[in-house]
Amino acid sequence: MHGNLFMVRCTSCSSLKIGTSSVVYPAAGYASILAERNVPVVEINIETTPSTSIATHHFHGPAAQIIPQLLSTNQK
């Protein structure tokens, strides 16, 4: 999944950062730009990235497993 970045706007969170190493630009700059604007950043990744410390929430693990869990929790 590295190199693929999906920024999703929704009602419960402002952005989701999924499956990027946060090393290659332009994706590497998205989290810090959003954080500077006080936009909550949710990072879902199998490893710690340079953006992990910036993220409002970090979920460690495969996005294919974590996203369905998060979505099912939000629908209750």
33: CATH = 3.40.50.1220
Bond into 68 cis (ω within 30)? no
- Is residue 5 domain-resident? no
Q: 16 forms bridges with which residues in the sheet?
A: 42
Per-residue pLDDT reduced to its tens digit, 10-64:
444 556 667 677 788 887 888 888 888 888 888 888 989 888 999 888 889 998 8
- Is residue 64 domain-resident? yes
Range(s) of the domain holding residue 55: 15-74
Other Cβ atoms within 10 Å of 55 Cβ, number: 21
Contacts of 10 (CB under 8 A, 6+ apart): 16
Q: Measured between alpha carbons, how far is residue 67 from residues 4, 26, 51 in Å?
A: 15, 23, 19
- Is residue 7 domain-resident? no
Domain count, the chain: 1
User: What pTM was computed for the model?
Assistant: 0.69
pLDDT confidence of residue 67: 86
State the Cα–Cα distance between residues 41 and 50, nearest whole angstrom: 13
- Is residue 10 domain-resident? no
